[in-house]
Amino acid sequence: MPKEIPYKIYLEENEMPKYWYNVRADMKVKPAPLLNPETLKPMTKEELSEVFCEELVNQELDDNTREYPIPQEILDFYKMYRPSPLVRAYCLEKKLNTPAKIYYKFEGNNTSGSHKLNSAIAQAYYAKQQGLKGVTTETGAGQWGTALSMACSYFDLDCNVYMVKVSYEQKPFRREVMRTYGASVTPSPSMTTNVGRRINEEFPGTGGSLGCAISEAVESAMSRDGYRYVLGSVLNQVLLHQSVIGMECKIAMDKYGIKPDMIIGCAGGGSNLGGLISPFMGEKLRGEKDYQFIAVEPASCPSLTRGKYAYDYCDTGKVCPLCKMYTLGSGYIPSSSHAGGLRYHGMNSILSELYDQGLMEARSVEQTSVFAAAQEFARVEGILPAPESSHAIKVAMDEAIKCRETGEEKTILFGLTGTGYFDLYAYAKFNDGVMSDYIPTEADLAKGFASLPDLKL
């Protein structure tokens, strides 16, 4: 007999997942390997280890190990903010008058405000284990940088964050959180790297870009002894760490005999979505159970729904390996009217391959409808969601409304990746009625596709 289901399910400490699940182990067709942009041959462990921590390179390249035991030090840190609650959205169901049962996994109850901390602590741990002095990274609005600064503070690692200059100046709050955790935060482009100096010279007064910040962080890591570069999304290792989200969900749902019919997540680089769906996807890949998976992306940056499946540069600076993924081209830039994250031109290669095989669907939604859903959700469920998370809310609500119309009692699970406390400029725009939508034209997309490398593979 299933137990009575609480409003919010918190796993007990002895029920918590002890390992990360690597979905690649159950994929018959594996994601395509990273390529060296010069030789066009698969990146070797040695090559990657110049930039990344060794154990993280192992995880990045490992298509076969199904279960990675989570080191005790990371389990200890997870205890500080995990388990995250799996919540039954009773109030939202009532508001929508739907027979659907809606659950969400809420990852926002930590100071970084999102799921990013799950991977940040793992990456900091492996850097510490390797005896490194510190790590470098880039951050846009600052969610990932905040998470990494918390993780580095815990392990007493130096943390250097290149923050896109326009965010550094206009959104000082996350910068101050990072500084409170002891990170050094440098506005990018800076004068501390060759690439930064070059860009400052070419474009005086530029506000910077994520692509430039990545290039600076990589250069900084490679030019200093005892430093490596770390990244908060897109990579397979990040999906592996984020599988803790899906593992907790699955353990909790199994415990109470709940089986989701559909699982919905927002998709930028893919870290949250991949982590949420991985263990469920594993069951689907092994033919044990079936689920409908839906990736939700912004209409302004539609890498899955309108992109091409091709090898592309991971960064606009073209310093990283080539990756086969659904992409809009590294030269694609979403309109500045686009709020929040999910601006990445590509998509994690595991998710790209699963999507290409038809194992996962994708939808794109426009931002004003996303903020309207966010507001409705906040008013009934209490939590003010991040704009990114609200993409998943929007589609979950759409699906619940369909159930009202058809009478189907579907069980919907979606990932609520974080809170919107640092996104209130965007909410203000919505509240003031001055937020607009942007859907790229075919011509806009063509410009991005023109930046795809011509590899002659």
Token reading at 290: 């079936």
Sorted by sequence, the CB contacts under 8 Å of residue 201 that are 6+ apart come out as none
Options 4-12, 37-45, 136-144, 340-348: segment touching its own copies (CB under 8 A)? 4-12
CA-to-CA distance for 388 and 371, rounded, in angstroms?
10
CA-to-CA distance for 279 and 390, rounded, in angstroms?
23
Candidates 79, 259, 289, 402; binder of its own copies (CB under 8 A) is 79
Contact letters for its own copies, residues 8-37 (x by CB under 8 A): x-x-xx------------------------
Cβ of residue 379: shortest distance to its own copies, in angstroms? 5
For residues 341-370, which are near its own copies according to CB under 8 A? none
Token reading at 247: 């593992």
Cβ of residue 180: shortest distance to its own copies, in angstroms? 5
Cβ of residue 29: shortest distance to its own copies, in angstroms? 40
Sign of CA dihedral 267, 450, 338, 142: positive
Candidates 285, 380, 401, 445; binder of its own copies (CB under 8 A) is 380
Options 21-29, 31-39, 419-427, 438-446: segment touching its own copies (CB under 8 A)? 419-427
Q: Position of tokens 């921590």?
A: 53
Q: Between 14 and 64, whose beta carbon lies closer to its own copies?
A: 14
Q: Between 82 and 165, whose beta carbon lies closer to its own copies?
A: 82
Q: What are phi and psi of 452, to 5 degrees?
A: -65, 140
Q: Between 229 and 427, whose beta carbon lies closer to its own copies?
A: 427
Contact letters for its own copies, residues 174-213 (x by CB under 8 A): --xx-xxxx-------------------------------
Options 106-114, 136-144, 230-238, 342-350: segment touching its own copies (CB under 8 A)? 106-114
Return the amino acid letter for 199: I
93 is a site residue for its own copies (CB under 8 A):
no
Size of the site for its own copies (CB under 8 A): 41
Q: Between 150 and 295, whose beta carbon lies closer to its own copies?
A: 150
CB environment 395-408: b (16+ within 10 A), e (fewer): bbbbbbeebeeeee
CA-to-CA distance for 371 and 369, rounded, in angstroms?
6
User: In sequence order, what E strands does 143-253 have?
Assistant: 158-164, 184-188, 227-229
* CA 246 to chain CA centroid, nearest Å: 14
What are the CA-CA distances from residue 247 to residues 23, 272, 318, 372, 431 (Å)? 12, 12, 34, 30, 37
- Contacts with its own copies, residue ranges (CB under 8 A): 6-8, 10, 12-13, 79-81, 91, 109-111, 113, 150, 153-154, 172-173, 176-177, 179-182, 375, 378-384, 419, 421-422, 424, 427-428, 430-431
